[in-house]
Amino acid sequence: MSGARIVLALVLGSWLIAGYTTFAKDAEETSSGLFHLVETDPVPDDAIRVCESCANNDLQATIDSADEGVVIVVVGGSWAPVSIDKPLRLAGEDWPVIDAMGKGSGITIASADVTVEGFDIRSTGRSFDHEDSGIYFEGERVRILNNRLSEVLFGVNGALGHDSEIAGNTISGQTGVSEGLRGDGLKIWYSHRVQIHNNDIRNVRDSLVWYSNECNVYENSVQGSRYGFHFMNSDDGVARRNSLVDNSVGIYIMYGKRFTVADNLLEGSRGPSGQGLGLKEVDGFEVTGNLIYDNRVGIYNDNSPYSIGQIGWLSDNVIAYNDSGLGIVPSARDNIYTHNSFVENLEQVTVLGSGALSSGNQWSYEGVGNFWSDYSGYDADGDGVGDIPYQNTSIAEELRRTHPQLQLFRFSLAERAIDFAAQAMPLFEAEAILMDDSPLVNAPTPQNAPEVTSNESTLHTTALSVSLMATVGAGIWWARRPGAGLGGA
Amino acid sequence: MEPAIQFDHVSKRFGSFAALDDVSFEVPSGQSIALWGSNGAGKTTLIRCMLGVTAFRGEIAVEGFSSAKHGKDVRVRIGYVPQVMPLFDPPVGEMVDLISRLRGVDSAEGLRLLERFELKQTLNKPVKSLSGGMRQRLALTLALLGNPHILVLDEPTANLDASSQKDLLTLLHQLKDEGRTIVFTSHRWSEVRSLADTVVHLEEGRVKEMGAVSALALQQDLVFIRLVLDESSISPASTALTSAGFQPYSGDGSVHVTVADAHKMDVFGALSAADVRVRNFTLEVEE
Amino acid sequence: MSSRSVLTLTQRELLDALRNRWFIVYAAAFLVLCISLAAMIVNSAGYAGISGFGRTAAGLINLVLFLAPLMGLTLGAQSLSAEREQGTLAYLLAQPVSLGEIFLAKFLGLAIAIAGAIAIGFSISSLAIMYWSGGAGVGIFLRLLPLTLLLGWTTLAIGFVISAVSDKTVSALGIGVVAWLLLVLIGDLGLMGASVAVSISPGMLLTLTIVNPLESFRIASILQLRNSIELLGPSGLVANDRFGDLTLWVLVGVMIVWLTGATMLAYVLARRRELQ
């Protein structure tokens, strides 16, 4: 009997450990590591101090009576929403709270040259008409730094604010509300040369940069939203080293010219129109060094570049484990793909719509093609370039394109059998979607992009595996165990 | 004294075919009863009804338990020996262990029985590897687990050679002397005469005759013929013999028939008339 | 029903499975194929130094679709017919146990044996990935474990139905293999052909497809591993409209209906046959 108890104890123990590792895994917070508070100017000695127990305990009155250009330090406490209509600097110490109690905006700025930093702003109203925002500003050179915004409809909402800076803020929308009913985390409107960096934005609708040229968006992290960043009619923008994870669309660029998208992590863009990077009729762009991982469509190209004579340059991107690596409308042309890695996408390149892909795209540049994980050629001369071209052919993919209903049979053995038969009998050979005549045999790896957020716990899997094996072992032990001493011997 | 087994208007139909038709008789405790009859007379069906593993009309009571309603209670009271011990994969020890546990007895008892039937050395041998005689002794061992008062044996010697048959018969006599109630079927008259107190002669599902062996009209000079045939000839041979009025019994590659000594040549006549080639035969005079 | 008898017979069934050549071959094949796939997954993750669910890992769905039903159907098909053929079933029935107990124990024993083979294949493969790659892509196998078990058990139940109506093990095996081909390949090819030749609405196509428990498994696996029903085109969107977040459960439900339905049918048929 004691043998049975020991075995039982071992098996139960292993499962307890496995169960514990589940909780340990759940407790981990995912963080891109990009968010951090930014350096702010030192607070001068003559700053006005406001706190609940100070002589100055009315924040709005203090602002109203202050001279232009002063620094007001707010120490802790909880405050009603405020409006600022003159240039000044409002600096929070010990996270003063501004709670809008579900009505209107938190801080409203109607002046240029205002800085707001270090506030904890909560619970704006829910009016889309008034665009209730954590911080609303209209004015140039406004700096919104190191604030915490939570349960807000819109987060930081600015218009006509050229040369402003929005950095080091955490912005989270209302939880438990569907994406479409949330407001925008960021909304930048007719504001050129805005610097947006090191913010952490979660659970909002979109973050918009519209009609705003030369904006520089870098090292931000956006999660759980609809459009991570949505640029519209904004020329000469740069999006660099942002982490866009688990949104419907990572970065979407509509219209505009000369856009740079570099070194971003675009991961987990899901849903029917999930896209890591969407390019709609963008004139001239460089997409380089991005890590595009686990999206519905990695890069979606709808007629970009739009005008004749413009070029789309896509190089050094790692496009891996997406349902479609690239989703391209047939008419898109003048794109150059070189030195990218196409790794293990379920479909490396998908043509969206009927007809063949335009031949006006280049799949290699000056003898340098791309790495394709499904390339079956060889490199006899060892120059790093495959000796036969890469061709993307699959009768099953072809069938799925011409008969979309057949997508239901993805991963079925029937589908594999069809592909196998097609390979055995070239009679049915599908037409190649594209041809890369200088395919790389070694994959370019991600260089500067943030690392993918791994949600796999190796500890958990190990513990589970060991528990399973222990259980099977105990089962075998039990099966071989004679009932009452006969049998074996 | 209450009878060990009571058959009360037992009927069993397979579609339109009446396998048993209003069978009633009693088996007194401690008695040995032989079920006698040709193939298809209903002997095996009657045993299955008694074990409660098939549905039937009427009532069978085994030591007071209804076979139809309390099959498990009945089966725990009956030690059953099939015609051939099936070829189980596990070794003998494991089989003894398994059946002991199913019958709710200590398998140490199994060890004693194995010893008694000289099977102890086979403990770790697969059932498959045993000789016919050993397998039937194993079947007997398993049947006696839990020390049931009633033993039911369905053609226990049919597939045994003469010496194994004799050995088994000796064992059965011992068991009978221990006071057990025995119900068995056999197509060897000598066996019936030696072991049975009473014979129930079944034909076409009915009790044709029943009584002490000595009082039976069947009682005459009988010979037992074992015909060795090609596998494909077995069923035509059985048909031919049945239509000629004999009661053939078909076993592995052979057909057995027990006939009055005076009519033994008629068997061969019937077979040659039906174009059945007999490869060999043995003849035993029943004593 | 006596739980002690069921337990005793289940133990015997398990022990028989460990002695069964077929079972050992299946378990070994499953293990070897899983480890090979693990090696391929690790290899493909090495291209750019990141791992995930891609073309190679999708092969796991094919592997499971190929082997688990084959294992379930043929082991199930052999189960009762072999015992009947050898006379062991009749012998056991003459013991103080019921057909229900024997049936349940046979099913439980084989279900445990299949689960063991799958669990060993998956857990060793997970550890192999861990050993080779240090953890990248390690979760793929175990995430598919519950569905794979369900598939093995469902096809085992269908195998039992075949077994309940077959006299000979050989013919039961033959029917089992035909059923396997039908469920795994021919049914799909037929539906694919039909949907191209005549117009079947995406909803109808979805219904016709998921009626097949193997297809329910496949689609549920895609949801489980990939969580994107859009991969399945128009019919996938219909599924999303019809069932929304419950899609996975609907598919699991189809398999459970097959599992319980086939088990009960097999029992009724076996009972009719054995106890008539």
Exposure letters A455-474 (e unless 16+ CB within 10 A, then b): ebbbbbbbbbbbbbbbbbeb
CB contact under 8 A, A483 and B93: no
The tens digit of pLDDT for each residue in B211-220 reads 887 776 555 5
Chain A residues with CB under 8 Å of B91 CB are 487
Task: Compute the count of residue pairs across chains A and C with CB atoms less than 8 Å apart.
Answer: 198
Residue in this structure with the two tokens 């003048």, named with its chain if needed: A334
Is A99 part of a structural domain of the chain? Answer: yes
pTM for the model stands at: 0.87
| CA-closest candidate to residue A168, choices A213, A233, A115 | A115
| CA-closest candidate to residue A485, choices C61, C113, B208, B101 | B101
Mean pLDDT (10-residue bins), chain A, 489 residues: 82 88 62 85 92 91 94 95 96 95 95 96 93 96 97 96 97 84 94 97 95 97 95 96 95 96 95 92 96 95 92 96 94 95 93 85 95 91 92 82 88 88 73 89 90 76 90 89 48
Instruction: Give the whole-angstrom CA distance, residue B128 versus residue B126.
Output: 5
Chain C residues with CB under 8 Å of A321 CB are 50-54
Instruction: Give the whole-angstrom CA distance, residue C262 versus residue C176.
Output: 14
**Closest chain A residue by Cα to residue B90:** A487
Q: Does C1 touch chain B (CB under 8 A)?
A: no
CB count in 10 Å sphere of residue A103:
12
CB contact under 8 A, C55 and A346: yes
Give the pLDDT of residue C28: 97
For C189, the closest of A343, A404, A414 (CB atoms) is A414
Instruction: Give the whole-angstrom CA distance, residue A116 versus residue B152.
Output: 99
* Residue B116 burial by Cβ neighbours in a 10 Å radius (0-12, 13-18, 19+): middle
CB contact under 8 A, C86 and B88: yes
Give the pLDDT of residue B286: 60
Is A117 part of a structural domain of the chain? Answer: yes
CB contact under 8 A, B101 and A486: no
Give the pLDDT of residue A314: 97
pLDDT more than 90, % of chain B? 39
Chain B residues 32-71 within an 8 A CB cutoff of chain A: none
- Asked whether residue B226 carries a pLDDT value surpassing 90, the answer given is no
List the subunits that have 3+ CB pairs under 8 angstroms with C.
A, B
Give the pLDDT of residue A167: 97
Residue C99, min C-alpha distance to chain A (Å): 21
Q: Rounded to an integer, what is the distance from CA B233 to the centroid of its chain?
A: 24
| CA-closest candidate to residue C31, choices C113, C120, C114 | C120
Which whole number is the average pLDDT over B95-114? 90
Q: Does B1 touch chain A (CB under 8 A)?
A: no
Task: Compute the count of residue pairs across chains A and B with CB atoms less than 8 Å apart.
Answer: 33
Give the pLDDT of residue B155: 87
Chain B residues with CB under 8 Å of C105 CB are none
Q: Does C243 touch chain A (CB under 8 A)?
A: no
Residue A296, min C-alpha distance to chain C (Å): 8
From residue A139, how far is each of A86, A162, C13, C219 by CA, in Å? 10, 7, 80, 53
Residue A475, min C-alpha distance to chain B (Å): 18
Residue B100, min C-alpha distance to chain A (Å): 9
Residue A366, min C-alpha distance to chain C (Å): 23
Give the pLDDT of residue A488: 37
Chain A residues 262-291 within an 8 A CB cutoff of chain B: none
Chain B residues with CB under 8 Å of A483 CB are 97-98, 100-101, 107
Give the pLDDT of residue A484: 40
Residue A119's domain spans which residues? 35-206
Give the pLDDT of residue A80: 95
Instruction: Give the ipTM of the model, two decimals please.
Output: 0.90
Residue in this structure with the two tokens 């006549």, named with its chain if needed: B269
Q: Does B252 touch chain C (CB under 8 A)?
A: no
Q: Token pair for residue A139?
A: 């004015």
CB contact under 8 A, A413 and C205: no
Q: Does C55 touch chain B (CB under 8 A)?
A: no
In chain A, the number of structural domains is 1
- Asked whether residue B236 carries a pLDDT value surpassing 70, the answer given is yes
- Angle, CA of C69, C75 and C76, to the nearest 5°: 85
CATH number at residue A72: 2.160.20.10
Weakest mean pLDDT among B153-162, C26-35, C63-72 = B153-162
For A483, the closest of B91, B101, B124 (CB atoms) is B101
Residue C177, min C-alpha distance to chain A (Å): 15
Query: How many CA atoms lie less than 13 Å away from C252 in the CB half-sphere?
Result: 14
Chain A residues with CB under 8 Å of C137 CB are 456
Q: Token pair for residue B284?
A: 């035993």
Query: For an interface test with A, which of C123, C147, C183 has the most A Cβ atoms less than 10 Å from its Cβ?
Result: C123
Is A89 part of a structural domain of the chain? Answer: yes
Query: For an interface test with A, which of C185, C192, C247 has the most A Cβ atoms less than 10 Å from its Cβ?
Result: C192
* DSSP string for residues in chain C: --HHHHHHHHHHHHHHHHH-HHHHHHHHHHHHHHHHHHHHHHHHHTTTT---S-HHHHHHHHHHHHHHHHHHHHHHHHHHHHHHHHTHHHHHHTSS--HHHHHHHHHHHHHHHHHHHHHHHHHHHHHHHHHHHSSTTTTHHHHTHHHHHHHHHHHHHHHHHHHHH-SSHHHHHHHHHHHHHIIIIIHHHHHHHHHHHS---HHHHHHHHHTSHHHHHHHHHHHHHH--GGGGHHHHHHHHHHHGGGHHHHHHHHHHHHHHHHHHHHHHHHHHHH--
CB contact under 8 A, C93 and B89: no
List the subunits that have 3+ CB pairs under 8 angstroms with B.
A, C
Is A402 part of a structural domain of the chain? Answer: no
Query: For an interface test with A, which of B100, B107, B115 has the most A Cβ atoms less than 10 Å from its Cβ?
Result: B107
CB contact under 8 A, C276 and B55: yes
CB contact under 8 A, B97 and A489: no
Instruction: Give the whole-angstrom CA distance, residue A328 versus residue B136.
Output: 78
Q: Are the C-beta atoms of residues A289 and A317 closer than 8 Å to each other?
A: yes
Instruction: Give the whole-angstrom CA distance, residue A423 versus residue A446.
Output: 33
Q: Does B106 touch chain C (CB under 8 A)?
A: no
**Closest chain A residue by Cα to residue B94:** A487
Q: Are the C-beta atoms of residues A407 and A385 closer than 8 Å to each other?
A: no
Chain B residues with CB under 8 Å of C19 CB are 89-90
Chain B residues with CB under 8 Å of C94 CB are 51, 53, 75, 78, 80, 82
**Closest chain C residue by Cα to residue A484:** C8
Higher pLDDT, residue A370 or B188:
A370
Give the pLDDT of residue A123: 93
Residue C250's domain spans which residues? 3-275
Which whole number is the average pLDDT over C196-203? 89
Is A124 part of a structural domain of the chain? Answer: yes
CB contact under 8 A, A483 and C227: no
In chain C, the number of structural domains is 1
Q: Does C95 touch chain B (CB under 8 A)?
A: yes
Q: Which residues contact A393 (CB under 8 A, 6 or more apart)?
A: A429, A430, A431, A432, A433
Residue A162, min C-alpha distance to chain C (Å): 40
Instruction: Give the whole-angstrom CA distance, residue C140 versus residue C131.
Output: 15
**Closest chain A residue by Cα to residue B106:** A484
Report residue B279: phi and psi, to 5°. Answer: -80, -35
Q: Does A484 touch chain B (CB under 8 A)?
A: yes
Give the pLDDT of residue A486: 41
Q: Does residue B12 sit in helix, strand or coil?
A: strand
Residue A473, min C-alpha distance to chain B (Å): 21
Q: Does B147 touch chain C (CB under 8 A)?
A: no
Mean per-residue pLDDT over chain B, rounded: 87
- Asked whether residue B5 carries a pLDDT value surpassing 60, the answer given is yes
Q: Token pair for residue C13?
A: 């069934």
The tens digit of pLDDT for each residue in C131-152 reads 888 777 788 899 999 999 999 9
Instruction: Give the whole-angstrom CA distance, residue B128 versus residue B122.
Output: 11
Is A288 part of a structural domain of the chain? Answer: no
| CA-closest candidate to residue B197, choices B27, B69, B42, B7 | B27
Weakest mean pLDDT among A255-269, B107-121, C63-77 = B107-121
For A445, the closest of C48, C137, C215 (CB atoms) is C48
Is A194 part of a structural domain of the chain? Answer: yes
- Asked whether residue B222 carries a pLDDT value surpassing 80, the answer given is no
pLDDT more than 90, % of chain C? 71
Give the pLDDT of residue A187: 97
CB contact under 8 A, C94 and B87: no
